[in-house]
Structure 1
Amino acid sequence: MTINDQISTSLLHSDKAPNCDLYFDFVRTVNDCLRTAPYTRLQIAERMNLALQAPEEIDQTKLNKWFAPSQSLNIPMYYLPALLWATNSIEIVNTLLQPLMFKAVDQRAQMLQKHAELQVENEKNAILQKEIIDTLLTSGTE
């Protein structure tokens, strides 16, 4: 494989394994998000329960154990979207995707940006269309 092929190949499809030993980075990021979230840990646990609607309730103690490096208990990965929503942050996912050089993307924000771009383009086209009509109308009266 040439250097250009190696550079252009996504790490996701590469034969060379990336370093995915992220446990401590993951725990640090989650704890940072828990600390900077606009909610207490108890409120975050309650928000996770709202999002998951699971039969087993999450409480503050369980939340603390999941993200204490000294504990062997880990959060089930399918709880991750609820944790992201509960903390109002996608930084946790970005930490997990970092070895693959990917980032989580806010599709809603992208759609809003595209909408705004299209709106500006439509306004420019409307101005151009008016100028053409004005030119046609004034050139016909001369």
Structure 2
Amino acid sequence: MTQRDLLDQLDLDLLNTENAPSLDLELDVIAIIKQCERNSGLGRDRFLDRINLCLRDTGQRVTKIQLNKWLSPSQENCVPAWVMPAICWALQSIEPMTALLNPLGFKPADMRADLLRQKAELDVSNKMRQQESKDLERALQQIMIRRR
């Protein structure tokens, strides 16, 4: 059994498990957005301006009242999915999205991470092909030795 066979047998994808993960994330997402807002140093007004700048072509607009309600743990409202990318851009952080994906065992990846993953897969594939080539070469040598 090759290393690749072992890796293929590992099914770590939480999307395929029988038991559903806990997805009670509202307070976690709110806490992370607030922490990112504090870390950004933007302040609520500038944060809101950046959200709306990101949404300028969508026809959507977020008011300060809406944002305050979404980020208040005591409110019944939660942060809508359509505004999450704008929040991440406004805060220059993917942490809010990461919080949404964590229970499923995923993390957001940028272009660099995707290229690194592709390179690693190619490296593994090349190593396997090199090993196959060596095995074929040995088999050919054995055949040549037997014919002598």
TM range (shorter): 0.5 to 0.7
Q: Does 1:14 align with 2:17?
A: yes
Q: Is residue 87 of structure 1 aligned with residue 96 of structure 2?
A: no
Matching residue of 1:125: none
SS at match of 1:105: coil
Between the two proteins, the alignment pairs up a number of residues equal to 111
Shift of 1:56: 4.7
Q: Distance in 1 between matches of 2:9 and 2:73?
A: 36
Specify every segment of 5 or more residues in structure 1 that has no aligned partner in the other structure, as ranges.
116-142
Residue in 2 that maps onto 1:57: 61
Residues 98 and 108 (structure 1), Cα distance of their counterparts in 2 relative to 1, 3 Å cut: same
Change in Cα spacing, 1:6 to 1:14, as seen in structure 2 (3 Å) is farther
Structure 1, residues 7-62: CA drift from partner, whole Å, max 9, x if none? 52410122211111112111111111111114221111111111111445323332
Provide the residue aligned with 1:29 in structure 2.
Answer: 32
Q: Is the 8 A contact 2:26 2:78 kept in 1?
A: no
Distance in 2 of aligned mates of 1:30 and 1:21: 16
Tell me, in whole angstroms, the C-alpha distance in 1 between the residues paired with 2:87 and 2:18.
32
Q: Identify unmatched segments of 5+ residues in structure 2.
A: 1-7, 120-148
Counterpart residue type for residue 49 of structure 1 = N
What is the TM-score normalised by the length of structure 1?
0.66
What is the TM-score of this pair, normalised by structure 2? 0.64
Percent of paired sites with the same residue: 37
Report the Cα offset of residue 63 of structure 1: 1.6
RMSD: 2.8
Q: Assess, with a 3 A threshold, how the Cα gap between structure 1 residues 23 and 38 changes in structure 2: closer, same or farther.
A: same
